[in-house]
Structure 1
Amino acid sequence: TDTPCGVCPSCVELARGGGGSLDVIEIDAASHNGVDDARDLRDRAVFAPARDRYKIFILDEAHMVTPQGFNALLKLVEEPPEHVKFIFATTEPEKVIGTIRSRTHHYPFRLVPPAAMLEYVEQLCQQESVSVAPGVLPLVVRAGGGSVRDTLSLLDQLMAGSEDGAIAYERAVALLGYTDAALLDDVVDALAVADPASAFAAIDRVVQTGQDPRRFVEDLLERLRDLIVVAATNESAAAVLRGVSPEELDTMTRQAGVFGATGLSRAADIANRALTDMTGATSPRLHLELMTARMLVPEADDTQRGALARVERLERRIGVGDAGGHRAG
């Protein structure tokens, strides 16, 4: 059924820690992907289940099955015995041949939302008696990209590299390869007030500390996105930016107010364009420095947004507008 009872022998055998069921056969399609393997599967499908209502065949990594192997399975998949069900599990369904896909139901799994993932990894850390510094778990969830397996692998990596059962923020940033929040703050502050000396000094620190320039631009774009959310939502930003401490939120509110909504939008577009240009580039540091220069000089931007950014800067200099950096109109 679609709702396991959790107490019958079948549920117990297939649950975590169970010994497995004779009627549920998992096959690694990566190493059993040929015609002979398909014929063997056809022969095994004839036999009735040992105990349960159905005999279930799970083909993991189904996209690895060769077209010849799928063609050998085609008749069985099209007209299976009443006691047989097939499950083709794959991360690349487009590689499964069309004749098989047209004879199956598709159930795409969604990525796990960050809020649910954050709550889950917090529970795991409590169960493992591991203390985690503020800001570490949001980095882990972000690096996992919605995949439970990838997130848990990263958390295992951090736990293995921890000392005395504690995961420090600096160690997590170094192991995950992210940019330190303090360095991001320095860059954003320098860009917000158009301070070239401080901005290029921070960029030089990025390079001198051995960080990947492309990863730094990704982190900067993520921070600019957070600032845009803060500028747009004000008090409700905490509900959107889950896992952000009140202190970080205060800092981002201040940065968004200094930057201005138009300046943030323009800077995010420049960072996004730089990220595209850096793909396969032989001199990523040069692209990073050019990106910084474009952000610092709205005067060189002859678009309407460049003009608005210049107006925002002038208004800040003469004290026009409220502390949040918003203008009417």
Structure 2
Amino acid sequence: MTTALYRRYRPESFGEMIGQSQVTEPLMTALRSDRVGHAYLFSGPRGCGKTTSARILARCLNCAAGPTDTPCGTCDSCVELGRGGGGSLDVVEIDAASHNGVDDARDLRERAVFAPARDRFKIFILDEAHMVTPQGFNALLKLVEEPPDHVKFIFATTEPEKVIGTIRSRTHHYPFRLVPPAAMLEYVEQLCRQEGVEVEPGVLPLVVRAGGGSPRDTLSLLDQLIAGSDSGTVAYARAVALLGYTHAELLDEVVDAFGASDASAAFAAIDRVVQTGQDPRRFVDDLLERLRDLIVVSATREGAAAVLRGISADDLARMQRQADAFGTARLSRIADLVIATLDDMTGATSPRLQLELMVARVLARGADAAAPAAPDLGGAAAAAPAAVAPAAPAPAPSAQAQAPAPAAATPAEPVGASAAVTPPPGAASATAAASAPAAGAPPSAAPASAAEMPIPAGPVTVERMRASWPQVLGRLEDISRSSWMLASGARIVSLDDDVLTLAFSSQGDVAKFKQLAAGKGPSEDLRQAISAVLGIRVKYIARHDAAGGGPGGGTPGSGPDGPRDDDGPSGGGAPSSAVR
């Protein structure tokens, strides 16, 4: 039989501790300057070195060459408290989970009275100290407050807030933390070299991620992989299967399908996730992790290797190609959709449905983002016709299309305005005065974004609402990202006067849309965006319609006479006022 890795490589001095310099350095300084307290409280997550540090502190205090910040490792006390030692008679480790009452506290008080059998101090290490009852702590209070000179207390706990304040106030509190991934990755690489174990690329980052910053958990997982590997090599495929993570090839397949807007490949990959028995929530979490890596690669370029440690150059090159196919902005939008899906999957009865809806939303959002980029009309040439076309008579569009567009247009001279319609003299002067730039201001081209395009004149119809929907969503994204995510999946059904009927793909989206808190919510945010773009304040009828049709778009037959929602309007007051 072999000893577990975390026992074979348990640190024997503060210098061997990793990722806990905020604890080890002050303790070593106190030992060097002979300013050691009589009671210590070590707190932090499980497996981060609290009990190990308590044993190291006991070795430092009782070392024959001490008290010292570096135990000699050869005296009887150091050997007994080392990795293979059987324990010291003067260092008492108590499991507070099973010795937490008043009677146990009384027994400890009686033992503390006697002097050490051989060493300098009698040290009591209380593990899981938060399990001690208030009565037990109160029975220990006098002893901890004024112990004999030869007694030291070390409390170790994962929940320091459960240790009563009168005890905490009499201790030196040292908080332990989880080890950062970079330090942990370097540590396990060194350990594998010492063990003579070969690991395939990508295995150790998975082990570090699964360990969650706990050295003990990380070494336990690595020990399990080494024990289950053939010929001394830890294979990536076996590590993925054992740890439950998604294979990198499957993540690449999904990301490439998103980049190419290939619905067939994307849904085929989702089917593989389900058919192979993987946890859909874990898959979404892994996909979010990959998107984070792509965002880092897209934003940092050559500096990505310094952030994404443990990733080979070939993997970085492949991720660079994937990031170039999206861009940072689109990757951020997809990550927002994935995060929302991860939240919705908590307690969901049909995680596969949530997963497939996420893919559909990502693909739909990708199509919407790519659509405006197709025609290359130029800045002012594209913006000006959209600003005047709704107000022009019927022949205006053809005349407008035939009129040559100048290379640049100023706000005072909109493109195609003279060809479209000749306003009366009074209107012309008012228009010129309103559109003239301020004195000394440089001439400007078209608005910088779709959300800043001029508001066209004329009545607002359902067709105009659908045509202006990208501008509305652009303005909504500036107001609230969460409201924008919700409205991006909505479909315009009809617009009767000021009553806008929207269809959502799920009943949950309808409920979220109707939520209001202190006069704010998705419906009010969308109302503000519509008012800013089209100049009207709408009421809503929100309903569930899984048939879809695309965000903002309509389906054949959906119009003013389409079906109404029985739930009534959201955010628009009573039903009678909403449909006036």
TM-score, normalising length: structure 2: 0.51
Any idea what the Cα deviations from partners look like across 1:3-51, whole Å, max 9, x if unmatched?
Answer: 1232452333322223332221111111111111111111111112233
More displaced 10-residue stretch of structure 1: 269-278 or 220-229 = 269-278
Find the counterpart in structure 1 of residue 241 from structure 2: 174
More displaced 10-residue stretch of structure 1: 220-229 or 53-62 = 53-62
Find the counterpart in structure 2 of residue 298 from structure 1: 365
Q: How does 1:257-268 map to 2 (within 5 A)?
A: 257-268=324-335
CA distance in 2 between partners of 1:249 and 1:98 (Å) = 51
**Which of 196, 208, 211 is 1:129 aligned to?**
196
Matched, 1:204 2:263: no
What secondary structure does 1:107 align onto? Answer: strand
**Which of 69, 76, 83 is 1:16 aligned to?**
83
Any idea what the Cα deviations from partners look like across 1:257-286, whole Å, max 9, x if unmatched?
Answer: 111111111111111121111111111111
Find the counterpart in structure 2 of residue 273 from structure 1: 340
Find the counterpart in structure 2 of residue 4 from structure 1: 70
Greater length-normalized contact order (CA 8 Å, ≥ 6 residues apart): 1
Report how many residues are paired.
311
What secondary structure does 1:106 align onto? Answer: strand
Find the counterpart in structure 1 of residue 252 from structure 2: 185
Bigger helix fraction: 1
Say whether the 8 Å CA contact 1:135–1:243 is kept in structure 2. yes
Measured at CA, do residues 135 and 299 of structure 1 come closer, stay the same or move farther in structure 2, by a change above 3 Å?
closer
CA distance in 1 between partners of 2:340 and 2:279 (Å) = 17
What secondary structure does 2:124 align onto? Answer: strand
Matched, 1:30 2:97: yes
Find the counterpart in structure 2 of residue 310 from structure 1: 369
Matched, 1:102 2:192: no
Say whether the 8 Å CA contact 1:34–1:69 is kept in structure 2. yes
Q: How does 1:111-126 map to 2 (within 5 A)?
A: 111-126=178-193
Q: For residue 177 of structure 1, what is the amino acid of its counterpart?
A: G
- Mind listing any 5+ residue stretches in structure 1 that lack a counterpart? 301-308, 319-327
Q: How does 1:213-252 map to 2 (within 5 A)?
A: 213-252=280-319
Find the counterpart in structure 2 of residue 64 from structure 1: 131
Measured at CA, do residues 115 and 299 of structure 1 come closer, stay the same or move farther in structure 2, by a change above 3 Å?
closer
CA distance in 2 between partners of 1:217 and 1:125 (Å) = 30
More displaced 10-residue stretch of structure 1: 245-254 or 14-23 = 14-23
Find the counterpart in structure 1 of residue 143 from structure 2: 76
- Mind listing any 5+ residue stretches in structure 2 that lack a counterpart? 1-30, 32-67, 377-447, 450-580
Matched, 1:256 2:323: yes
In the TM superposition, what is the alpha-carbon distance from 1:316 to its structure 2 partner?
8.8
CA distance in 2 between partners of 1:299 and 1:119 (Å) = 39
What secondary structure does 1:26 align onto? Answer: strand
In the TM superposition, what is the alpha-carbon distance from 1:93 to its structure 2 partner?
1.5
Say whether the 8 Å CA contact 1:193–1:259 is kept in structure 2. no
Find the counterpart in structure 1 of residue 225 from structure 2: 158
Say whether the 8 Å CA contact 2:261–2:366 is kept in structure 1. no
Measured at CA, do residues 106 and 317 of structure 1 come closer, stay the same or move farther in structure 2, by a change above 3 Å?
farther
CA distance in 2 between partners of 1:317 and 1:166 (Å) = 54
CA distance in 1 between partners of 2:102 and 2:219 (Å) = 36
In the TM superposition, what is the alpha-carbon distance from 1:208 to its structure 2 partner?
0.6
Any idea what the Cα deviations from partners look like across 1:54-80, whole Å, max 9, x if unmatched?
Answer: 221100111111222112111111222
More displaced 10-residue stretch of structure 1: 97-106 or 77-86 = 97-106
Measured at CA, do residues 157 and 256 of structure 1 come closer, stay the same or move farther in structure 2, by a change above 3 Å?
same
In the TM superposition, what is the alpha-carbon distance from 1:120 to its structure 2 partner?
1.8
Hey, which bits of structure 1, 4+ residues long, moved more than 4 A?
Answer: 313-318
CA distance in 1 between partners of 2:366 and 2:248 (Å) = 29
Find the counterpart in structure 2 of residue 285 from structure 1: 352
What secondary structure does 2:92 align onto? Answer: strand
Find the counterpart in structure 2 of residue 90 from structure 1: 157
Higher CA-based Rg: 2
Q: For residue 119 of structure 1, what is the amino acid of its counterpart?
A: E
In the TM superposition, what is the alpha-carbon distance from 1:217 to its structure 2 partner?
0.7
In the TM superposition, what is the alpha-carbon distance from 1:244 to its structure 2 partner?
0.3
CA distance in 2 between partners of 1:225 and 1:133 (Å) = 23
